[in-house]
Amino acid sequence: MLTCALNICNMVWTDRVRQVKILLVISAVVIAVASLVVSHLLVHDLVKEERKNMSVWAEALRSFNNADENTDLALVLKVIEGNEHIPAIVVDGRGRVREHRNLGRKWHSAADSVEYITRKAQSMKAQGNVIRISLDSPYTEGRDDYMEVRFGESLMLRRLAYYPYVQLGVVLIFVVVAIFALLSSKRAEQNKVWVGLSKETAHQLGTPISSLMAWVEVLRETYPQDELIPEMDKDVRRLQRIAERFSKIGSLPEPKPENLNDVVSNVVQYIRRRTSNKVSIVVDMPEHPLIVMMSAPLFEWVVENLCKNAIDAMDGQGRITLTARDEQDCFSVEVADTGKGIASKNFRNVFMPGFTTKSRGWGLGLSLAKRIVEEYHHGRIFVKSSEIGRGTTFRIELRK
């Protein structure tokens, strides 16, 4: 039931997230293409308009240079002064700069402003932005009988050319934020399922456990000398503790200072009593206590899950090594086995709900362990190393 509900929830959410992702990507592509097309058309029209304006400006400049008594200088000067946005440089037939406009502030701050303007004029000519003016004055001859108006892109044109890329960046940020929000919503929904199923499991276990505890007391009074009744009592209390663990999922447990050595030792004692002699359990811990802020019942559950998985991976025969250390920036617990090992591609997948390599089981143990370590203890749990046919080592790190 628990696996079925989780799988259904995952499938529904996965399909929904996939559909929304596809819709967002398609929308982003449509917006990007439309922006590029529209911007390209606007830039193309603006380039033609600016070239036309510069042709009028060059003609006004020619009229000013060839002015006579019939020339309306007021109109000519109005046209010449009207260019306030398009950068322009006037060069005579000998390549000397005669006039410049709208070059910005760079040429003022340049160490050699003449050299800067000359380079700018050459760059404009290389781009093909040149209009030649013929001078009909009798005082010019040879190479001085014409001038060239060289011009560049206006600030508005440059901004319009960059605008689609800015818009694409905004759309990309929007898509990333939207997908992140979807994934966060998915995790929140999964957490609700986790909490609901865990609490329901604890509730369902409560009634039969209470009945079993009552029956144990009846048996204890009826057969006070029976040696199996205390063991039955231990198992029933163990069930009670498991139900208590499930009931704590979803609520923030209050961490208390606990000796990590004792917590690991409790798990080892429990596992040894319920494992065959073919499995040897080696414990490597320092003699001094390792005091860690934790919820002992939940953390025992984590180590217990790792040990049970190790036993399954070894097919009930091999060695488990538990190591606890006080390191520079954390307390660590490592559980190593001599089992089948895990393929490197599954190092992350082993912590996903429903993932299992066993023929039986729900595939929830490591997912619960990850949740307990990371969300309740703000630590890390990961596959430190694994080799097919040689074994696996899981590592837990708890902050100091």
Residue 59 located in a structural domain: yes
Residue 88 located in a structural domain: yes
Range of the domain at 335: 254-399
Report, as ranges of residue numbers, the positions in the chain whose pLDDT lies below 70: 1-18, 67-69, 71, 105-112, 136-144, 186-196, 245, 248-253, 353-364
Return the amino acid letter for 141: E
Instruction: Report d(CA 161, CA 129) in Å as an integer.
Output: 17
Same domain? For 139 and 261 the reply is: no
Same domain? For 146 and 260 the reply is: no
Residue 205 located in a structural domain: no
Tokens of 400: 């100091």
Contact yes or no for 298/252 (Cβ under 8 A): no
Contact yes or no for 377/295 (Cβ under 8 A): yes
pLDDT for position 49? 85
The domain boundary residue, chosen from 159, 191, 224? 159
Return the amino acid letter for 372: I
Number of domains making up the chain:
2
Residue 41 located in a structural domain: yes
Q: Which residues pair with 151 in a beta bridge?
A: 88
Q: Read off the CATH number of the domain in which 50 is found.
A: 3.30.450
Indicate the DSSP class of residue 251: S
Residue 29 located in a structural domain: yes
The domain boundary residue, chosen from 129, 159, 189? 159
pLDDT for position 293? 92
Residue 183 located in a structural domain: no
pLDDT for position 75? 78
Same domain? For 150 and 282 the reply is: no
Dmax (CA) for the chain in angstroms is 136
Residue 134 located in a structural domain: yes
Same domain? For 154 and 43 the reply is: yes
DSSP 3-state assignment of 389?
A: coil
Same domain? For 7 and 149 the reply is: yes
Q: What is the DSSP string of 273-296?
A: HTS-TTEEEEEE--SS--EEEE-H
> Residue 228 to residues 216, 231, 266, 274: CA-CA distances in angstroms?
10, 5, 21, 15
The domain boundary residue, chosen from 132, 159, 186? 159
pLDDT digits 0-9 by tens, 234-259 = 888 878 877 776 776 666 667 899 99
Which one, of 65, 84, 63, lies nearest residue 75 by Cα? 63
Same domain? For 264 and 374 the reply is: yes
pLDDT digits 0-9 by tens, 59-112 = 887 777 776 667 677 777 787 777 778 888 888 777 777 777 877 766 555 556
Residue 230 located in a structural domain: no
pLDDT for position 385? 93
pLDDT for position 139? 45
Beta strands in 178-290 (DSSP E): 256-259, 279-284
